[in-house]
Structure 1
Amino acid sequence: MLDYSEKALDHFFNPRNAGVLEAANAVGSVGSLEGGDAVRLMLRIDPDSRVIAEARFQAFGGGDAIAACSALTVLVTGQSVDEARRLTAGQIDAALGGLPGDRKPAADLAQAALQAALAQFLGITPEAPKPDPKPASVTLLAPRHESKPKILREVPLSPEDEATIIAQVIDSVRPTLRADGGDVTLVAVEGAKVRVHLTGNCSGCQLAALTLGGLQKRLADALGRPIRVIPEQKPLVSIAGAR
Structure 2
Amino acid sequence: MLDYGEKVRDHFFNPRNAGALAGANAVGEAGSLHGGDALRLMLQIDPASERIEAARFLALGGGSAIASFSALTELVIGQSVATAQRLSEGDIAEALGGLPPERMRGPALGRQALSAAIAAFRGEAVAAPAPAAPRCAPPPATVAYAARLARGEAGAPAAHPLLAARRLKAAPVPLAPASASLAAAGDTGAAIARIIEEMRPVFQRDGGDIELLGVEAGQVFVHLSGACAGCMMAGHTLSGLQARIIATLGRSMRIIPSGKA
Whether these two folds match at TM > 0.5 is yes
Distance in 1 (CA, whole Å) between partners of 2:79 and 2:196 is 49
The Cα of 1:65 is off from its aligned counterpart by: 2.0
The Cα of 1:18 is off from its aligned counterpart by: 0.0
2:257 matched residue in structure 1: 233
Q: Relative to structure 1, is the Cα distance of residues 112 and 25 closer, same or farther in structure 2, using a 3 angstrom cutoff?
A: same
Structure 1: segments with no counterpart, 5+ residues: 130-157, 176-183, 221-225, 238-243
Larger gyration radius, structure 1 or structure 2:
1
The structure in which a higher percent of residues are helix is 2
Matched to 1:63, the amino acid is G
The Cα of 1:60 is off from its aligned counterpart by: 1.4
Whether contact under 8 Å (1:26, 1:45) holds in the other structure is yes
1:107 matched residue in structure 2: 107
Matched to 1:66, the amino acid is I
The Cα of 1:98 is off from its aligned counterpart by: 1.7
Matched to 2:207, the amino acid is R
Q: Relative to structure 1, is the Cα distance of residues 57 and 169 closer, same or farther in structure 2, using a 3 angstrom cutoff?
A: closer
Whether contact under 8 Å (1:25, 1:121) holds in the other structure is yes
Matched to 1:8, the amino acid is V
2:158 matched residue in structure 1: none
TM-score under structure 2 length normalisation? 0.59
Matched to 1:170, the amino acid is F
Distance in 2 (CA, whole Å) between partners of 1:99 and 1:196 is 31
Matching of residues 121-160 of structure 1 within 5 Å: 121-126=121-126
Q: Relative to structure 1, is the Cα distance of residues 172 and 103 closer, same or farther in structure 2, using a 3 angstrom cutoff?
A: closer
Whether contact under 8 Å (2:55, 2:76) holds in the other structure is yes
The Cα of 1:30 is off from its aligned counterpart by: 1.4
Structure 2: segments with no counterpart, 5+ residues: 130-189, 249-253
State the identity as a percent: 49
Distance in 2 (CA, whole Å) between partners of 1:163 and 1:3 is 24
Whether contact under 8 Å (1:13, 1:206) holds in the other structure is no
Matching of residues 1-243 of structure 1 within 5 Å: 1=1, 3-126=3-126, 166-167=199-200, 170-174=203-207, 185-188=210-213, 196-197=222-223, 207-209=233-235, 232-236=256-260
Distance in 1 (CA, whole Å) between partners of 2:25 and 2:5 is 33
Q: Relative to structure 1, is the Cα distance of residues 195 and 27 closer, same or farther in structure 2, using a 3 angstrom cutoff?
A: farther
Distance in 2 (CA, whole Å) between partners of 1:12 and 1:172 is 20
**CA shift digits 1:83-111 (9 cap, x unpaired):** 00000011001111122332211110011
Whether contact under 8 Å (2:220, 2:256) holds in the other structure is no
Distance in 2 (CA, whole Å) between partners of 1:189 and 1:27 is 43
The Cα of 1:169 is off from its aligned counterpart by: 5.2
RMSD: 3.7
2:187 matched residue in structure 1: none
1:155 matched residue in structure 2: none
Whether contact under 8 Å (2:41, 2:117) holds in the other structure is yes
Q: Aligned with 2:116: secondary structure?
A: helix
Whether contact under 8 Å (1:186, 1:235) holds in the other structure is no
Whether contact under 8 Å (1:26, 1:120) holds in the other structure is yes
Q: Relative to structure 1, is the Cα distance of residues 117 and 165 closer, same or farther in structure 2, using a 3 angstrom cutoff?
A: closer
Aligned pairs, how many?
189
Distance in 2 (CA, whole Å) between partners of 1:204 and 1:164 is 21
Q: Relative to structure 1, is the Cα distance of residues 188 and 122 closer, same or farther in structure 2, using a 3 angstrom cutoff?
A: farther
